[in-house]
Structure 1
Amino acid sequence: MSGILRPGQQYVSAVGDQGVSYGRVRPEGVDTRHGAILYLEDVVVSFDGFKAIKHLNLDISVGELRCIIGPNGAGKTTMMDVITGKTRPSSGTAYFGQSLDLTRMTEVEIAHAGIGRKFQRPTVFEQHSVFENLELAMKMDKRVGTTLFARLNSEQRDKIAAILQLIRLSGQAYRQAGLLSHGQKQWLEIGMLLIQEPQLILLDEPVAGMSDAETARTAELLNDLRGKHSIMVVEHDMGFVAEIAQQGVVTVLHEGAVLAQGTMQQVQSDEKVIEVYLGR
């Protein structure tokens, strides 16, 4: 793939009578004209000779909710580390849209370009209110003085209110985040990702440790986001996966490669998947 650009990189935007005009790559410039937002091709990750990822091929469409399942050690976390720039592949390619080469970008550049990741354990500002957590996460000038003293405008307040409603925390807006239940903290962190307007969201076991009621509400939340964001969900809870996969694609990883792929019904009936993961 040619014409690789990176966020912040200067490029020629126009040539005319006034000379050459330059622009800079911005997050909204991610090229998804071919319908896919993420491409992983022949990705290999080796740690001291051990291949955690073995020639992995994967692509996710714009607006798709993709579920990734597989046994422990299948390479799920390492795959997300490659996508977010935490781990460099030994070989292979990883693209965000058509032109952003993730293997040449830093973690900060990748986040700025529009990929957001939520880890299994919620990381919220526990001494601040739910509203303040969302305010701190909002895209704005992050210089200390500006962040501390700037007042939100009506558009920003409306945006936070919409996110609060979406994540089922409108009634908890001014409650200290540390007092929330485990599930509510998970929803808050998802809200903190959403308010930054990522184009691709990676969720690592979002319902781990949740009650049945919280798991059901999380499924509702992700189904609400379907089509509005491109989402990759790594999860072990098969009941939850069945709720959010619907007729979408489920990818099964095993020993660093794709073992099977298809609808939930198809992978559940796949003999290879039954043998190595689901059991009989």
Structure 2
Amino acid sequence: MVPQADSRLDIKNGCMLYVEDVSVSFDGFKAINNLNLYIDEGELRCIIGPNGAGKTTMMDIITGKTKPDTGSAYFGQKINLLEMSEPEIAQAGIGRKFQKPTVFEEQSVFDNLELAMAGPRGVLPTLFSKLNGEQRDHIEQVMVQIGLQDHSMARSGALSHGQKQWLEIGMLLMQNPKLLLVDEPVAGMTHQEMDRTAELLTSLAGKHSVIVVEHDMDFVRSIAKKVTVLHQGSVLAEGSMDQIQSNPRVKEVYLGE
């Protein structure tokens, strides 16, 4: 079976993610401070902010790695993320890509995508099961999407840094997530790879909601419709890239002017 979205997911009012009045402290330090964030269905949102602004903690809360002290987080209108474990959240349709790519280096590109489709079923049953036509089509389709169709039998460890990042995005796509969280996707990439990554992430919007956390401002400018700036754990500003760049508070805090 190709993974399907959680049947409880209710997005009829167009909003995919609600994070409301969320705060969390670690040893007295407020990592997230009364954060409110709303992501629409099919939206590509860029989140920027200086180190320590709370970007990683925000992603940890959405994916169940960290439970906040106060506030609420809902996937659609009905799925309460704060009552779920990390695997349950992944199964419900939220995928996260960490900064450092983690692919099965000894396996081929095709095998990596096949293993990723298994998700909670685990790796062993996958290795001994036969793919059906629908699953094979899904793998082929994702390979084209991430631009690795000519490398299907290549050993993943032999791919370039950028290709490994695309493969990892492909591994998330095998799960058919409705919401994708992508952490610093272009760190260490060549300009060419960055352009290709911009195309890939832009192509995912619409079918998926995508949150991109990134430091590279040129890259953000190339993909962003709407940008959220975090500072000291809460939203400092939100708007188009032009609005963000001309915002005096953002200039002071983030651009150091």
Task: Sort the TM-score into its range (normalised by shorter chain).
Answer: over 0.9
Distance 1:154 1:277, change over 3 A: same
Q: Which residue of 2 aligns with 1:274?
A: 251
**Number of residue pairs the alignment of both structures matches:** 253
Determine which of 180, 201, 204 is the counterpart of 2:183. 204
Partner of 1:115: 94
Identity of aligned residues (%): 64
Match among 97, 105, 108 for residue 129 of structure 1: 108
Q: Residue 138 of structure 1 aligns to a residue in which SS?
A: helix
User: Which residue of structure 1 aligns with residue 24 of structure 2?
Assistant: 45
Rounded to whole Å, the distance in 2 between the matches of 1:153 and 1:276 is 53
After TM superposition, the score normalised by the length of structure 2 is 0.95
Q: What residue number does 2:9 align with?
A: 30
Structure 1 gaps, min length 5: 1-25
Q: Is the 8 A contact 2:87 2:120 kept in 1?
A: no
How far did residue 141 of structure 1 move? 7.8
Residues 224 and 86 (structure 1), Cα distance of their counterparts in 2 relative to 1, 3 Å cut:
same
Separation (CA, whole Å) in 2 of partners of 1:146 and 1:234: 34
Cα deviation digits, residues 115-145 of structure 1 (max 9, x gap): 0000000000001000000000114782565
Q: 1:210 to 1:141 in 2, by over 3 A?
A: closer
1:72 aligns with 2:51: yes
Q: Distance in 2 between matches of 1:155 and 1:140?
A: 17
State the AA in 1 paired with 2:23: V
C-alpha separation between the residues in 2 aligned to 1:215 and 1:67?
15
Instruction: Tell me which amino acid in the other structure corresponds to 1:278.
Output: L
- d(CA) in 2 for partners of 1:76 and 1:236? 11
Q: CA deviation at 1:229?
A: 0.5
Question: What residue is the counterpart of 1:235 in the other structure?
Answer: 214
Task: Quickly say closer, same or farther: Cα 1:144–1:224, change in 2 above 3 A.
Answer: closer
CA distance in 2, matches of 1:259, 1:174: 46
In the alignment, residue 250 of structure 1 is paired with which amino acid? V
| Aligned residue identity for 2:242 | Q
Query: For the structure 1 residues 175 and 262, does the alpha-carbon distance in structure 2 shift closer, same or farther, using more than 3 Å as the test?
Result: same
2:238 to 233, 249, 261: 261
TM-score by length of 1: 0.88
The root-mean-square deviation of aligned C-alpha atoms, in Å, is 1.3
Q: Which runs of 4+ in 1 moved over 2 A?
A: 139-146
Q: Is the 8 A contact 1:117 1:203 kept in 2?
A: yes
Quick check: which has more Rg, 1 or 2? 1
Deviations 1:9-48, CA, capped at 9 Å, x for gaps: xxxxxxxxxxxxxxxxx71321111111100111001011
Q: Larger relative CO (CA 8 A, sep 6+): 1 or 2? A: 2
**1:263 partner letter:** S
Amino acid corresponding to residue 131 of structure 2 in structure 1:
L
- Whether 2:183 is the aligned partner of 1:194: answer no
- Which residue matches 2:158? 179
CA distance change for structure 1 residues 42 and 145 in 2, over 3 Å: closer, same or farther? Answer: closer
What are the Cα deviations for residues 214-236 of structure 1, in whole angstroms up to 9, with x where unaligned?
00100011111121100100000
